């Protein structure tokens, strides 16, 4: 099965902030093929942080671009709700986020989650 790794804004920024090699770390934990994806609301959040001078956000946008991450158009107001809904509907989605509240909601819904542990490794639960 090819998984879709759905990137959340805080995850993208934390990957940059902690100098994590995303592709290398994902190869260690995701068995089988995968494709990175994100939603337009996440890109909007990262762009908003960039406009406020967040250098990690700027680099995060460059990372998304360099990895050619497809952006799925989203209309709902809150990114977490969109992400949770997508994870519930599509069993091939693994959500990459460090947001504790979202991670708890994902766990309750039975959606797999990838997060950063010890500021250097990715873990899938």
Residue ranges per domain, the chain? Answer: 3-124
Q: What is the token pair recorded at 50?
A: 């960039």
Give the model's pLDDT for residue 75.
81
Q: What is the token pair recorded at 13?
A: 């920024």
Give the model's pLDDT for residue 9.
96
Fold of 3-124: Rossmann fold (3.40.50)
125 by DSSP, 3-state: which? coil
Element housing 124 (H / E): strand 121-124
Start-to-end Cα distance in the chain = 17
pLDDT in tens, 3-13: 999 999 999 99
pLDDT in tens, 50-81: 999 999 999 999 999 999 999 999 887 789 99
Distance CA 90, CA 59 (A): 29
Give the model's pLDDT for residue 32.
82
Partners of residue 71 on adjacent β-strands: 38
DSSP annotation of 29? H
């Amino acid at each position: 099965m090819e998984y879709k790794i759905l990137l959340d804004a805080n995850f993208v920024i934390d990957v940059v902030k902690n100098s994590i090699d995303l592709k290398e770390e994902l190869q260690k934990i995701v068995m089988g093929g995968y494709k990175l994806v994100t939603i337009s609301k996440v890109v909007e959040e990262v762009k908003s942080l960039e406009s406020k001078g967040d250098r990690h956000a700027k680099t995060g946008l460059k990372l998304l671009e360099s990895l050619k991450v497809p952006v799925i158009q989203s209309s709902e107001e809150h990114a977490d709700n969109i992400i949770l809904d997508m994870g519930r509907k599509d069993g091939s989605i693994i959500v990459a986020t460090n947001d504790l509240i979202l991670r708890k909601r994902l766990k309750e819904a039975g959606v797999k989650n990838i997060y950063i542990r010890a500021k250097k490794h990715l873990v899938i639960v």
